[in-house]
């Protein structure tokens, strides 16, 4: 039996071209651009100056702020500039530009080869921070802070997210197929840190090979694999928790408030690499695909690599009309190829002219209720949008707009082509100012 949640949609998944494509190492480019903001929280302050030589894995930026993470050089080379560059968020942000010397001279971090159960939780927390790991599933929340909060709240359930429910994306899928043991060892480190003994890996049933490899790798441990129904957004934290445990997260609350902590599969593997191999987060898997891509692939990419380099490596069958960083449902449209891969870049999608959807001259709500039926958070997207359009942001708050996960289900099913998700975002952005006027 495959478990699921209420609401959601079943879009075409378009994963066929890369689901069986092995991870290919992308050659390190001659120039890498490392934004100082690659996580939720305070951006880093540079630890290097223009002209400095850096080593592969060397820490080049950090911050003393409570919510922050260091960044590391993905190559050895010379710092050529520290200046604003385009960021996937759509604005220019300070970045460190490194010229690659092609040597990959490595900065040595100590590795741990003993029994994981002998590692103190404080040591795991320290290494998680030193590694620079942010949530690899897209949220970008610092791993060490999530672990610390989970310890303080005494969570009782650890869930590992292997759903990867967005169309086109297969990076996590290939990670589970190709290095499941790294993921299992990383899960064991998380359990050791939290003082727990059991975990559940949730995987959608459209990934039978990933289910098989993870079950084989977890055999003999107290890590279970649960087969979940293929439905979007099955990988959303709240939907995943509902499917795995049956628990509901009350409005305004977080997973840890009901005793659950959720981690992405590649986040677990990255923790293992830092603790047991001394490798901080300097690379990640990126799915490069879409109708305009000649050879869709899953690439192991150095952070700081430009989108231009990725598309040149995979090739284009036509000039792309639209580029999306991340998945088509929750990703961000990009205006330039001179933007770099960051810690939470899961995919780069390229669409041609034939894939552009015709837009209505005047989007209109026809009161069909499809958005209400599709919303996995049980909200009223149509009424929230109507109030947001009229500037009634306090009414949006009363309709629980802050519980919207911006999954895009409502926009996907809307026959009137309303910009429903954008309305939610607008309301959230205005809400603090409106509340201050009360």
Residue 1 pLDDT > 80: no
Strand partners, 161: 202, 264
Stretch 229-256: mean pLDDT: 93
pLDDT of the residue at 355: 64
Residue 438 pLDDT > 60: no
Nearest to 375 by CA among 263, 258, 238: 238
Per-residue buried b or exposed e for 153-192, using 16+ beta carbons within 10 Å of the residue's own CB: bebebbbbbbbbbbbbbbbbbbbbbebbebbbbbbbbbbb
Quickly state the pLDDT bin for 434 (edges 50, 70, 90): low
CB atoms within 10 A of CB 208: 11
Share of the chain above pLDDT 70, in %: 96
Rounded to whole angstroms, the Cα distance separating 10 from 326 reads 18
Q: Give the residue extent of every domain in the chain.
A: 1-26+109-356, 370-436
Which residues are within 8 A (CB) of 190 and not within 5 positions of it... i.e. 6 or more apart?
147, 158, 199, 263, 268, 271
Element (H, E) at 150: helix 143-153
Say what the pTM is.
Answer: 0.93
Which residues are within 8 A (CB) of 85 and not within 5 positions of it... i.e. 6 or more apart?
33, 35, 92, 93, 94, 95, 97, 338, 340
Residue 432 pLDDT > 80: no
Residue 112 pLDDT > 80: yes
Stretch 255-270: mean pLDDT: 96
User: How does pLDDT run across 277-335, given as a tens digit for each residue?
Assistant: 999 999 999 999 999 999 999 999 999 999 999 999 999 999 899 999 999 999 999 99
Stretch 13-31: mean pLDDT: 97
Topology of domain 1-26+109-356, per CATH? Rossmann fold (3.40.50)
pLDDT of the residue at 251: 86
User: How does pLDDT run across 169-190, given as a tens digit for each residue?
Assistant: 999 999 999 999 999 999 999 9
Q: What is the mean pLDDT of the chain?
A: 93
pLDDT of the residue at 435: 52
């Amino acid at each position: 039996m495959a478990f699921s949640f209420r609401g959601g949609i079943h879009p075409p998944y378009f994963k066929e071209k890369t689901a069986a494509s092995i991870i290919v190492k992308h050659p390190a480019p001659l120039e890498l651009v490392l934004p100082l903001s690659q996580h939720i929280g305070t951006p880093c302050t540079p630890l290097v100056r223009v002209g400095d030589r850096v080593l592969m894995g060397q820490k080049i930026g950090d911050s003393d702020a409570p919510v922050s993470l260091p960044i590391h050089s993905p190559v050895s080379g010379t710092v050529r500039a520290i200046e604003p560059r385009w960021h996937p968020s759509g604005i220019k942000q300070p970045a460190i530009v490194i010229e690659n010397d092609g040597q990959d001279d490595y900065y040595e971090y100590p590795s741990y080869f003993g029994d994981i159960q002998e590692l103190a939780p404080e040591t795991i927390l320290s290494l998680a921070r030193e590694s620079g790991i942010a949530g690899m599933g897209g949220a970008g929340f610092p791993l060490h802070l999530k672990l610390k909060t989970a310890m303080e709240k005494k969570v009782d359930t650890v869930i590992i997210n292997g759903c990867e429910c967005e169309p086109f994306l297969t990076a996590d899928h290939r990670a589970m197929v190709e290095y499941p043991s790294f993921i299992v060892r990383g899960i064991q480190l998380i359990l050791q840190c939290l003082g727990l003994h059991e975990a559940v890996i949730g995987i959608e049933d459209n990934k039978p090979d990933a289910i098989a490899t993870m079950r084989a790798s977890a055999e003999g441990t107290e890590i279970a694999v649960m087969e979940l129904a293929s439905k979007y957004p099955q990988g959303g934290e709240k939907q995943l928790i509902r499917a795995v445990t049956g628990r509901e997260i009350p409005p305004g609350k977080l997973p840890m408030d009901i005793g659950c902590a959720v981690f992405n599969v590649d986040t677990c593997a990255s923790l293992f690499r830092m603790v047991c191999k001394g490798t901080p987060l300097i690379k990640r898997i990126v799915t490069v695909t879409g109708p305009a891509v000649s050879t869709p692939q899953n690439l192991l990419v150095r952070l700081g690599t430009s989108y231009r380099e990725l598309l040149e490596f995979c090739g284009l069958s036509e000039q792309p009309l639209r580029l999306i960083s991340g998945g088509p449902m929750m990703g961000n449209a990009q205006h330039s190829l001179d933007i770099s891969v960051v810690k939470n870049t899961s995919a780069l999608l390229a669409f041609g002219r034939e894939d552009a959807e015709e837009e209505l001259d005047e989007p209109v709500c026809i009161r069909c209720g499809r958005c209400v039926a599709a919303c996995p958070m049980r909200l009223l997207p149509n009424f929230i949008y109507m109030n947001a359009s009229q500037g009634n942001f306090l009414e949006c708050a009363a309709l629980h707009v802050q519980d919207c996960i911006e999954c895009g289900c409502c926009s996907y099913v809307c026959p009137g082509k309303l910009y429903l998700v954008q309305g939610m975002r607008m309301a959230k952005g205005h809400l603090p100012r409106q509340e201050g006027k009360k």
